Amino acid sequence: MIHLTPFLVCALLAKASLAIPSPFTNLARQAGDVCPADALSCQNVSGVNSCCVETPLGLLLQTQFWNFEPAKGPVDSWTVHGLWPDKCDATPKVSCDPSREHPNIRDVLTENGKEDLLRWMEEFWVGIPTDEYLWANEWNRHGTCMSTIAPKCMPEDSATGLDAAIYFQKTADAFKSVPTYEFLASVGIEPNTTKTYSLDELESAFKATHGFIPALDCRNGALSHILYYFHLKGNIMDGTLVPLDALKRGSCPKTGIKYLPKTG
C-alpha cells in the first residue's frame, strides 16, 4: 500500500499542467506578436506559426540520470540529462542546426547573465566525462531542434547564444517540476543495496505522486535513467508543460529492479 506523506498530498493537489516561470517572456518575434492561446504541441497546431508552438517536434522528454557508480551529483537528488524534442510519435530527431552549435556553454550562460543558473547546473547537471561535454551535447543535439527558439523567433539584435540560454533555463525549470527522488521517497522508496522492486510497483509510485507514468531505464538491473513525457502549450520561453504517460517503456525489467545508493 502507498502511504501519503505531506509532500505527496501537496503534489496531488497541484495542477496537472506545469507552468514554466520565465525571465524571457515575450521575447519572441512571433507572427504579428499574436499566438493562439490554446496552441498545444502535437495537437491543434495546423496552420500555427512554429514560433508559437513546438512543431513538428512537439513531444518533450525531460530526462534525468541516477548515477550511482561512479556517484555524480547530490546523494538525495537525480541529476539533469536534458530536454529532448521528439516527433509526436516519439521518433527522435537530433542535431537540427549545426550553425547554432556552441563549444563553450559556460561562456554562453555568463554572457547572457545566467551565472546563478550556471552555479545550479554545476551541482545538478553533471556529466561524464565532464559537465561541459554534456551541456554542449544537449544543446547541439536537442536544443537546436526547438522551433520556438529558432533564429526567426528571437528578438532582433539579441545577444549571441540567447536561444541556448533559454534552453538551459527551461530545462532546469522542467527538471525542478518533476523531483524524482522526492516522488519515490514520499512513498517509501529510497536507495538501498539489497531491496528490489517490480516495474509495476515503481510505475504505481509515479502514478500516485506525479500523476503520470514515465519511462524507466536500468543499467544491470538497477535504476539509472528516467524520461518524463510532456506536450507544450505555447512556446518554450513562457509556455506550460502538459504531462502525459510515456509513449514508450524504458529498458527496466519487470521484476528485480534495484535502486542503488550513490557510492564511490
DSSP character at residue 88: T
Q: Which of these is catalytic: 3, 54, 69, 81?
A: 81
Residue 81 annotated among the catalytic residues of the structure: yes
Residue 122 annotated among the catalytic residues of the structure: no
Residue with cell 540567447: 162
Nearest to 184 by CA among 14, 64, 7, 13: 7
Q: Which of these is catalytic: 142, 210, 225, 231?
A: 142
Residues near 130 by Cβ (< 8 Å), separated by ≥ 6? none
Nearest to 36 by CA among 22, 17, 55: 55
C-alpha cell at 239: 509556455
**142 near 84, Cβ under 8 Å?**
yes
C-alpha cell at 24: 524571457
Q: Which of these is catalytic: 102, 138, 203, 225?
A: 138
Rounded Cα distance between 212 and 16, Å, is 9
Which residues on neighbouring strands pair with residue 216, listed in sequence order? 226
Query: Measuring CA to CA, how many Å separate 181 from each of 33, 155, 248?
Result: 40, 38, 22
**209 near 183, Cβ under 8 Å?**
yes
C-alpha cell at 44: 491543434
Rounded Cα distance between 165 and 175, Å, is 15
Residue 132 annotated among the catalytic residues of the structure: no
Region for 188 from its dihedrals, namely left if φ exceeds 0, alpha if ψ lies in -120 to 50, beta otherwise: left
Catalytic residues: 81, 138, 142
